[in-house]
């Protein structure tokens, strides 16, 4: 007898990779699931940079969800190729030739897919009406054995079990724990360029459909090719947590941001100016946070969380979406396992393992962040990728 048999109306708050993966896996086991997503509809938002899925996490979830064929049919070929350059855009490492031979089963193969495409694959795999759009979660209260959820559009819904998959600023998390993520010391200033071949021809040619990691003077520029000739990039640097508010910058003013870049990245080549001259404003400053590595809490009988809601991890190890999808895989297994007599036991088992995994990934990512913003960043990262 599994933990959710006979019930149970399950509400997943948030329709990102973790939430949609969980909904699909639970539906395959016959569970009654709704995903409550604040977006107005499936086309409401431009999705972020591509994801590279890892064998032991994201891909394992894709396979368990019976979606590998759809995934393979929608890959971004070549998007996992990378170049490592210095501040003058001189190439010190490129795998653009060797990567061509890799495929599923290769040890370091990291297939890339657009977030929007991955979302579409999962949405099309779910039962009709699974996702309740325009459902911006506001609050909830205990009702009977479950929860009554309230949304910004004044609708309410009841669920026996609630799972927070609503990201780093989760509104579900405070119902579970008051432990907050800590500032990592790093800011990433995000920009996007459309029609990149025309708008930023030098950068576009250097990128050549893959990724670039540029290191110099304790600062980075990290970028990748998206679909439809779009480039997403991050200027990454150490700063105080409230730098976005205290910088005096208008993030909608390209001229101001270019002058800031020339001043702060003063030893960097003028080739990078293309990025700041052609970004579709506003730029988005993102202070990078990380969970305390020793976070813990008492499991609740009918409430849990996954992904960034449970464990905000800096992006320096490429684990965010992969960890969320692995959380979804493990949580679905626990909730539908005959090993547990109650949902409470299943949630407790899942959370203990999830926190252990997350702490390891967070520690690795923090250490990578330090390496990438050190004096020796270029040589350190060259050593790492040459070994792989």
Using the structure block, give the residue that is written with the tokens 């110099």. 216
Q: Take residue 124 and report the two structure tokens written for it.
A: 């099309």
Cβ–Cβ < 8 Å for 13, 305: no
Q: Are 79 and 228 in contact (CB under 8 A)?
A: no
Q: Is 355 annotated as a binding residue?
A: no
24 is in an annotated binding site: no
Exposed (0-12), middle (13-18) or buried (19+): which is 41, by Cβ within 10 Å? Answer: exposed
Distance CA 151, CA 132 (A): 11
Q: Which residues pair with 93 in a beta bridge?
A: 84
**Burial environment of residue 168 by CB neighbours within 10 A (0 to 12, 13 to 18, 19 or more):** middle
Which of these, 5, 7, 15, 12, lies nearest to 303 by C-alpha position?
12
> Do the annotations mark residue 286 as ligand-binding?
no
Query: Percentage helix, strand, coil, to 5, in the chain?
Result: 35, 25, 40
Is there a binding annotation on residue 38? no
Q: Which helix (H) or strand (E) holds 360?
A: helix 343-372
CA distance 69 to 62: 9
Q: Both tokens of residue 48?
A: 């972020």
What is the layout of strands, in order, in the sheet containing 137-143?
137-143, 146-151, 156-159
Listed in sequence order, the residues at least 6 apart from 314 whose beta carbon sits closer than 8 Å to its beta carbon are 184, 186, 288, 289, 290, 362, 365, 366, 368, 369
For the chain, the first-to-last Cα distance in angstroms comes to 45
Binding-site residues from annotation for NADPH: 45
Binding-site residues from annotation: 45, 52, 115, 308
Binding-site residues from annotation for FAD: 52, 115, 308
């Amino acid at each position: 007898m599994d933990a959710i048999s006979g019930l149970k109306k399950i509400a997943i708050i948030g329709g990102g990779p973790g939430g949609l993966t969980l909904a699909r896996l639970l539906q395959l086991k016959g569970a009654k699931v709704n995903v409550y997503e604040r977006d107005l509809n499936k086309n409401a938002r431009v999705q972020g940079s591509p994801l590279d899925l890892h064998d032991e996490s994201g891909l394992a979830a894709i396979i368990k969800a019976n979606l590998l064929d759809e995934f393979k049919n929608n890959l971004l070929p070549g998007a996992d190729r990378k170049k490592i350059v210095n501040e003058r855009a001189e190439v010190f490492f490129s795998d653009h030739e060797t990567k061509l031979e890799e495929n599923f089963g290769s040890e370091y193969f990291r297939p890339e897919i657009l977030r929007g495409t991955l979302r579409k694959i999962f949405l099309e795999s779910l039962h009709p009406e699974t996702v309740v759009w325009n459902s911006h979660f506001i609050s909830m209260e205990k009702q009977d054995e479950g929860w009554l959820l309230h949304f910004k559009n004044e609708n309410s819904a009841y669920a026996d079990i609630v799972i927070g998959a609503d990201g780093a600023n989760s509104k579900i998390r405070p119902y579970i724990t008051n432990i907050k993520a800590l500032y990592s010391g790093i800011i990433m200033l995000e920009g996007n360029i459309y029609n990149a071949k025309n708008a930023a021809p030098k950068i576009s040619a250097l990128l050549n459909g893959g990724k670039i990691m540029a290191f110099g003077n304790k600062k980075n520029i990290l970028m990748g090719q998206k679909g439809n000739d779009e480039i997403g990039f991050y200027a990454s640097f150490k700063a105080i947590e409230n730098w976005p508010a205290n910088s005096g910058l208008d993030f909608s003013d390209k001229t101001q941001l270019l002058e800031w870049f020339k001043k702060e990245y003063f030893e960097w080549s003028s080739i990078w100016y293309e990025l700041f001259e052609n970004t579709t404003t506003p730029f988005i400053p993102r202070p990078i946070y990380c969970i305390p590595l020793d976070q813990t809490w008492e499991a609740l009988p009918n409430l849990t969380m996954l992904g960034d809601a449970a464990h905000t991890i800096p992006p320096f190890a490429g684990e965010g979406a992969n960890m969320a999808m692995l959380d979804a895989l493990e949580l679905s297994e626990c909730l539908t396992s005959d090993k547990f007599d109650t949902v409470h036991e299943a949630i407790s088992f899942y959370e203990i393992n999830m926190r252990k995994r997350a702490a390891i990934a967070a520690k690795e990512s923090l250490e990578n962040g330090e390496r990438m913003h050190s004096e020796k960043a270029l040589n350190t990262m060259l050593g790492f990728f040459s070994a792989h």
